[in-house]
Homo-oligomer: A and B are copies of this chain.
Amino acid sequence: MTKTSDAPRLELLQGTLDMLVLRTLQWGPRHGHGIGQAIRSQSDDLLKVETGSLYPALHRLVKRGWLKAEWGISEANQRARYYQLTAAGKAQLSVERDRWSQLVDAIGRVMNSASAIKE
């Protein structure tokens, strides 16, 4: 039983992907590929962010002012866009972190409830 075959394909909420991207950039600027790699490695390979979801998310986050993008040179000596968290992005990360905790908590109440009717 290997980890990879064992791991389910985990779908992400759009809001969840945004939160993970913002979180990843708390550790410093990264290019898109590096962000995807960080999410994958930090989640021990459970979360695989598709390029087709990641780049639209980055575009959206820049548009909302939560990220700043700049051209730079990657470790492979290629021109790449580097993304950096803005002050507004830091505040948004905190909002999304709270919202995620509340969602997990609310779903947990339904999943772990002992009876059908709440007193």
A interface with B by C-beta (< 8 Å): 7-8, 10-16, 19-20, 23-24, 27-28, 38-39, 41-44, 46-47, 97-100, 102-107, 109-111, 113, 115-118
Contacts and interface: CB of A to CB of B under 8 A. Distances in A.
Among the interface residues A43, A110, A113, which one has the most CB atoms of the partner chain B within 10 A?
A110
A44 B80 CA distance: 46
| Total copies of the chain | 2
Instruction: Give the dominant DSSP class at A's interface.
Output: helix
Contact of A42 (B7, B13, B15, B113): B113
Contacts of A102: 7-8, 10, 46
B44 A107 contact: no
Contacts of A14: 11
